[in-house]
Amino acid sequence: MDGGLTNLLPYDLLFADCDLTIAVDVLGTRTVDSSRDPSYFDTSFNTFQVMQTAILEEKLKRLQPDFLVRPEIKDVRVLEFYRFAEIFEQARPALETFRRDLALRLGRS
């Protein structure tokens, strides 16, 4: 297991060394096509996702990064990495929002 079980977004470790903290939640806001039955692996992974999300939400209540990027990814299952082009395209709105917000924060138009 990696740090995702205990510190999914370790932005809190950077505050002493960085002027701005940018956290990218690669789990994003994920929705899956409910017309397909989830596999055993999907169900197990979703259990960890629920736990990770709960831990992160509690962390965000007490300490927030300057920017939190959470792309909305629809109808992609956990191991469908081969759909990367579609995933990147779905993440584009979150990227554009981040770019706009960063430019505003830095005083650029």
- Integer Cα distance of 41 and 101 in angstroms: 37
From the list 17, 29, 108, the residue with the least C-alpha distance to 69 is 29
- Our separate counts of H helices and E strands in the chain read 2, 4
pLDDT recorded at residue 99:
96
Residue 61 CB contacts under 8 Å (≥ 6 apart), including other chains: none
Q: Which amino acid is at 87?
A: I
- Do the beta carbons of residue 91 and residue 73 sit within 8 Å? yes
pLDDT recorded at residue 74:
86
Question: Looking at the predicted structure, is the pLDDT value of residue 105 above 70?
Answer: yes
Residue-wise pLDDT tens digits, 10-43:
999 999 999 999 999 887 676 766 777 877 877 8
- Do the beta carbons of residue 13 and residue 23 sit within 8 Å? no
Residue-wise pLDDT tens digits, 37-84:
877 877 887 888 888 888 889 999 999 999 999 999 888 877 788 999
